[in-house]
Structure 1
Amino acid sequence: MHTNSMGNFFEDFIVGEEIYHALSKTIFESDNNLFSLLTMNAHPVHTNINYAEKQQHGQLLVVGTLVFSLIVGLTVTDISGKAIANLDYENVKHLAPVFIGDTLYAKTKILDKRISRKSTDRGILYVETIGYNQNKINVISFRRHVLIKCSKREKE
């Protein structure tokens, strides 16, 4: 048996590489309800079946920020497990609705990387992540910069 290595060092990432993350998550009604309560999102399209059935999609919608949070979480083992910080998120796009019972998956493309100008024992990784459902329909996309430790560099 070997231990699981949480994340990768800056040097491990290759620009242009696409990573299909191993983790996935099926959305249960309890996930959506708890997230709605925790974030004080009281919109009935997320919590009221009777209301939701009369709206455009005819069923409960999963809260968009829950989808975003889950997709970020699915990437941690591969992308930000050795991160010092997520520096920003940009271009968050909700591409399709997510419903109770959908299973979410994620893939990330390495867009760019560079050594930090302030401290050379770390680098900045620029990635784009796409979340998709069990039908391979893309439901969310976003880009982010992640500050990640280098494996061998000494601070200069």
Structure 2
Amino acid sequence: MEPSKLGLYYEEFDIGLTLYHSLSKTIFESDNNFFSLLTMNHHPVHTNIDYASKNQHGQLLVVGTLVFSLVVGITVPDISGKAIANLGYEDIRHLSPVFIGDTIYARTTILDKRESVSKTDRGIVYVETFGYNQKGDNVISFRRNVLVKKQFS
């Protein structure tokens, strides 16, 4: 039996490749409540059914930073499993609302990559990730630079 493989080495990232991540997660009310409490986001649109029912979407909205964190986590086995660091996130966009009971999936496209100037055992991979729901609607997108180990240096 082969041991499980966590992440890709720098050399394994091909520009233009799109990875459809195998992990997914249905968001439960408890996830949203715990995250709201943990991050001190007590806006009633996330925690008060009566309040939320009288607003734009008519139901509780999942906290946007929970969706972001979840989608980043979904990508770890493929994108950052061999990472030294995530160097930065950019252009984070909340594209559609996420509700309790939605199931979140993700896909990532490799946009660019370059070798580290200062250290020969690593490189920087530039990716764009989309999180989408069970209907196929994109709900979030973001780009990031990931510092990844090389397999051969």
Q: Percent identity?
A: 70
SS at match of 2:50: helix
Match of 2:26 in 1: 26
Match of 1:4 in 2: 4
Letter in 2 for 1:35: F
Aligned residues: 153
Match of 2:86 in 1: 86
SS at match of 2:71: helix
Distance 1:31 1:52 in 2: 17
Match of 2:43 in 1: 43
Letter in 2 for 1:65: T
Distance 2:50 2:137 in 1: 26
Letter in 1 for 2:87: L
**1:2 Cα deviation from its structure 2 partner:** 2.4
Superimposed CA distance per residue, residues 78-102 of structure 1 (whole angstroms, 9 cap, x where no aligned partner): 0000000000000000000000000
Alignment of 1:127-138 (within 5 A): 127-138=127-138
Superimposed CA distance per residue, residues 33-77 of structure 1 (whole angstroms, 9 cap, x where no aligned partner): 000000000100000000000000000000000000000000000
Distance 1:2 1:60 in 2: 44
Match of 1:121 in 2: 121
SS at match of 2:5: coil
Instruction: Kindly report structure 1 stretches of 4+ aligned residues shifted beyond 2 Å.
Output: none
Distance 2:128 2:7 in 1: 17
Distance 2:4 2:75 in 1: 15
Distance 1:42 1:135 in 2: 28
Distance 2:4 2:38 in 1: 31
The two structures have a TM-score, normalised by structure 1, of 0.97
Match of 2:147 in 1: 147
Aligned: 1:107 with 2:107: yes
Structure holding more helix per residue: 2
Match of 2:74 in 1: 74
The two structures have a TM-score, normalised by structure 2, of 0.99
Superimposed CA distance per residue, residues 106-140 of structure 1 (whole angstroms, 9 cap, x where no aligned partner): 00000000000110110000000000000000000
Structure 1: gaps (5+ residues): none
Match of 1:56 in 2: 56
**1:3 Cα deviation from its structure 2 partner:** 1.6
Q: CA RMSD in A?
A: 0.4
